[in-house]
Each structure stands twice: as C-alpha cells, then as structure tokens.
Amino acid sequence: MAANVEIYVWSRCPFCIRAKGLLDSKGVDYQEYIIDGDEEARAVMMERANGRRSLPQIFINDQHIGGCDDLHDLDAADQLDPLLAEQAA
C-alpha cells in the first residue's frame, strides 16, 4: 500500500498546480481537496496545518508537509521519495 497523500488546493492556484505537477511526475495518487471559496473547508485545513492559510497544504500519511516550496525542498534534499514510499498506517 502506498503513502496516503492529501493536498488542499484552489483550482487556479499556480503553486497548487506546480505541487500537483511534482506529485504527478512521480506517479503519486493523491486525494485532492478543492476548497475554492469554501471557508469551512479552509478552516479544517488550517486546523490540520497548524494555522497555515496558504495553499496548497500537503499531508503525507497525516504528516503535515507544508506548501509547494516545502514539497520541492524535500524533493531536492532526496527526502520526498522515502516519505512517498512509506505505507500508510
């Protein structure tokens, strides 16, 4: 079983598109939450993301990864693939 990856996005957010592009390039299946204008969904995201409001917000196996730059930084440091290879608990 692969890692459980979740990403909160706005549909036209360039950072969201970039983060999803990296996940897509790695063949990762992920649960996408499109929260355009949905303040209730954003509140849920913020609670999970320790108050962060920016998008995207990414979680791997319920671990908060952060946003687009955080995801790309993990990849550049060769730390993303091991996270993605971990099985969901």
Per residue, what are the HEC states of 19-31?
HHHHHHHCCCCCE
Instruction: For residues 80 and 73, give the distance between their C-alpha atoms in angstroms, rounded to a whole number.
Output: 9
pLDDT for 63 beyond 70: yes
Q: Give how far Cα 62 sits from Cα of 4, 14, 23, 45, 49, Å.
A: 7, 24, 16, 12, 10
Question: For residue range 68-79, what is the model confidence (pLDDT) as tens digits?
Answer: 999 999 999 999
Contact 33, 6 (CB under 8 A): yes
Task: Using a cut of 0.85, tell me whether the model's pTM lies above it.
Answer: yes
The 8-class DSSP code of residue 5 comes to: E
Domains identified in the chain and CATH numbers: 5-85 (3.40.30.10)
pLDDT value, residue 56 = 98
